[in-house]
Amino acid sequence: MKSRLIIFLSIVLLVAVLAALNAASYVRVEREREVELLPDRSTMNSGGTGTRALFEYLRESGADVARWGHPMSALSGPDEPETLVIVGATRRAIEAREASAIVNWVSAGGRLVLIDREPNPQLLPRVGGWRVYAQMAEYPDADSDPFDAENMTRGAPLLTPAQPTALTRNVAEVTRSRFASRLQLSRNDSGQPQIVITGERDRSVPESDIPESDGPPPPPAPTPRAATGDGPDTHAPVVHIADGREGEGALLVDYAYGRGRIVVLSDPYVVSNAGLNRADNLFLAVNVVTGGGRGRVAFDEFHQGYGETQNQLFAYLRGTPIIWMFGQGAVVVLALMWTRGRRFARPVPAPRPDRRSKLEFVSSMAELQQSARAYDLAIENVYQRTRRALARYAGLPATAAPAQIAERVAARSGRDRAALEALLVECEDASAGAPLNGRRALRLAQDLRELERDLRLLMRSRELRQSR
């Protein structure tokens, strides 16, 4: 028992030492300052590049918004949203099969909102001869603090809507960052590529300048009527906000694909926590995300690193020493299990019980007598020993009658003669074969033992110690 206590105290001391070492060596990692070069566009992020402010505003205003943490294959499931919003370059790349699932969902009637300076080409399929892509004019650097409005918007003019639409309702001016890309619209008619810039003028570009998608081909979309010569092209992309400089492109474009629509906003700064309060950016962000409807809007958090496949407990404890402490504790437990399972000394034979013990013989005889219900035999074994001791105590021979023994014992000890004689006679009858049950036999044995103890008959030193 003492050795086990030492082992237990050693384990407790070891765990305490490990905890102290972890606490002493742990250095709190300060949250790094967010910059536009390495943004975090998640709705969980309340920093400058996050979109939590927009998400909370939509939720408080009564819009049906949610964080989408399921794979893209679940878009057509029972929790299907009407609008899927993907903001910025996601932490987890969108694979080709996921892009195909998103495009199929849009073709079936979904609404996809892409808010990115370099949107994924696989998510911008062609419709007839039209194609939408982005061109970067200036790239962020390591010092581009999103909360530094002067630095973020230096040289960027305020933009006005190109035409009144549902996406520009209540929007008079929009503040974009200087890192916003320009959305270009191209159309290929009869092998002659054309770039349509905000509906103002056309210019020809080489086919090699138009980026191509490496993913699987998107599902077929309805052929615009203009391609067949039946009427105006109703599927041409719509420019909602032009860049403001002639020929440089657009900031907000959307177009129909199948039975759904794809909306592209080329600057995440407009919807970020840092830029949402600039000019009418809030109104534009709400219009772009909701589309003026009341359907369910889902922000893609699956590709932002908050998917359902991530263990939430480990995500909560990330950056703390708790995980390492659990790991070290597991190593200690495994070491103890391994050492306890190995022999560290010579083999010792198992202890063998002494079969010559008198107590074992008595226990075996008692079990046999109880199983055979031989209560008379048990009383006889006890009574004969007590009777001989009482005869010696009374100064009579062992063959004396019970009445004589009771009379002499009562005269010497002062006990009740009648009760003592009745006990001896009943024991005589039981030994001779009189009917006897287990409870009465136990009572007779207890009376005989009490008589021996009171008169101090046949008591050895061990029995004297037990009686004391």
Q: Which is more confident, 78 or 174? A: 174
The whole-number pLDDT of residue 194 equals 40
Q: Which residue type sits at 105?
A: W
Q: Give per-residue pLDDT as tens, 334-371.
A: 887 877 777 667 777 888 766 666 666 667 777 777 77
Q: Which is more confident, 1 or 399? A: 399
Q: Do the Cβ atoms of 106 and 135 come closer than 8 Å?
A: no
Q: Which residue type sits at 439?
A: R
Name every residue whose Cβ is closer than 8 Å to that of residue 170 and which is 6 or more positions away in sequence. Answer: 280, 283, 287
Nearest CA among 309, 262, 258, 238 for reference residue 122: 262
Tokens at residue 444, please? 């007779």
Nearest CA among 171, 167, 163 for reference residue 278: 171
Longest dimension (CA), the chain: 144
In a domain, 352, yes or no: no
By CB atoms closer than 10 A (0-12, 13-18, 19+), residue 217 is exposed
Sign, CA torsion 357/362/367/369 = positive
Nearest CA among 436, 403, 433 for reference residue 420: 403
In a domain, 451, yes or no: yes
Sign, CA torsion 421/425/430/434 = negative
In a domain, 197, yes or no: yes
In a domain, 20, yes or no: no
In a domain, 7, yes or no: no
The answer on 380 and 303 residing in a single domain is no
Domain boundary (310, 337, 371) is at: 310
**Model's pTM, two decimal places?**
0.58
Q: Give per-residue pLDDT as tens, 27-42.
A: 555 556 788 888 999 9
**SS in 3 state form for 266-326?**
CCHHHCCCCCCCCCCHHHHHHHHHHCCCCCCEEEECCCCCCCCCCCHHHHHHCCCCHHHHH
- Domain limits for position 218: 52-310
Q: Give per-residue pLDDT as tens, 401-414.
A: 989 989 998 998 88
The arithmetic mean of pLDDT across residues 115-127, rounded, is 92
Q: How many domains does the chain have?
A: 2
